[in-house]
Amino acid sequence: MKAIQIKQPGTPEAMEFVDLPVPEPEPNEVVVKISAAGVNFIDVYNREGRYKVAAPFVLGQEGAGVVTAAGKDVKSVKPGDRVAYTGVMGSYSEYSAVPADRLVKVPKGVDDRQAAAAMLQGMTAHYLCHDTYPLKKGETALVHAAAGGVGLLLVQMAHNIGARVIGTVSTDSKAKLAREAGADEIILYTQTDFETETKRLTAGKGLDVIYDSVGKSTFEKGLNLLRPRGMMVLFGGSSGAVPPFDPIMLTQKGSLFLTRPSLLHHIITSQELQARAKAVFDMITQGKLKFRIEHTYPLAQAQQAHRDLEGRKTTGKLLLLP
């Protein structure tokens, strides 16, 4: 089978297009023939070595496809079932072995590309606004990178809850997408200082929550925008890691809350995984959540997919099609 393998961490050129044996399932695993694999910033962090993974390894943590083989202990799925997953390394490939308890069945009304897009980014958006900071109707949230993969989904979910959504984007075309997703206000951070503009839009009252996937370039200004006891939800670092700081700063700025959550800790049990995936799939089938799959690439073009993602040239979801 064809796969994208990392032998040494590094730039996009570290991703090698190689031939590997089709995996055999362990007793608790199934083999999935991948029809679509999600491209996410966590893949960049793994490729760079920011998150340590024993090399060599096949990149990718999100995929959808069809079960082709099942281990002897597997009862929950069978060959021929359409499934999706996230949090298991190896989706940048034609076939991947996945523990059965990490799989969710894909319902009718959701195609494989939607399913691949829904797993990491859809469930991330879901836990952010339903669990990390459970948004309520009438509250105000700032969503950075509002036209990105998670951003567009988070804006839609927050809008459906009835929150006021302020989104930051870099271009007019991205502003249009974020508005169509339900953002009430848009800040073009390339033209306007987002701190100054947010204070104007909120009349200085402060935000209830900031959902920040950007990190280094937005974090400190964001702390100046929260109301007393507001929450900074830092769930990514596309501009780089946030520098160390003294937690007393949180006291000085209003007894703020800061969290750095991960999807994996919100789908720890199989029951939680199934419930969260069902919630996202239900939003899709009910027409409440739309995925913008902007770019699809052949598996062999994984390097270009990473360059486009890191260059912030994209909106919505990027998929590799083995």
Q: Which helix (H) or strand (E) holds 114?
A: helix 112-117
Rg (CA), the chain: 20
**Cα dist from 243 to 50, 209, 239, 255, 281, whole Å:** 15, 21, 12, 20, 37
pLDDT in tens, 238-289: 888 899 999 999 999 999 999 999 999 999 999 999 999 999 999 999 999 9
Q: What is the mean pLDDT of residues 211-237?
A: 96
What residues have CB less than 8 Å from 41, skipping those under 6 apart? 213, 236, 238, 309
- Check residue 149 and give its pLDDT: 87
The separation between CA 47 and the C-alpha centre of its own chain, rounded to angstroms, equals 16
In this prediction, residue 110 has a pLDDT band, given cuts at 50, 70 and 90, of very high
pTM of this structure: 0.92
What is the rounded average pLDDT for all residues in the chain? 96
In this prediction, residue 174 has a pLDDT band, given cuts at 50, 70 and 90, of very high
Phi/psi at 67 (5° precision): -70, 130
Percent of the chain with pLDDT over 70: 100
Q: What is the mean pLDDT of residues 45-72?
A: 96
- Check residue 315 and give its pLDDT: 75
Low-confidence winner among 48-52, 78-82, 105-109 (lowest mean pLDDT): 48-52
User: How far is residue 51's CA from residue 232's CA, in Å, rounded to a whole number?
Assistant: 22
pLDDT at 127 over 90: yes
pLDDT at 115 over 80: yes
For residue 297, the cross-strand partners are 320
pLDDT at 133 over 80: yes
Contacts of 192-198 with CB under 8 Å at 24 or more apart are: 194/168, 194/218, 194/221, 195/221, 195/222, 195/224, 195/225, 198/142, 198/166, 198/225
Q: What is the mean pLDDT of residues 17-32?
A: 98
In this prediction, residue 312 has a pLDDT band, given cuts at 50, 70 and 90, of confident
Region for 238 from its dihedrals, namely left if φ exceeds 0, alpha if ψ lies in -120 to 50, beta otherwise: alpha
- Please spell the DSSP secondary structure of 93-107, one letter per residue: BSEEEEEGGGEEEPP
Domains of the chain, start order: 2-119+267-321 (3.90.180.10), 137-260 (3.40.50.720)
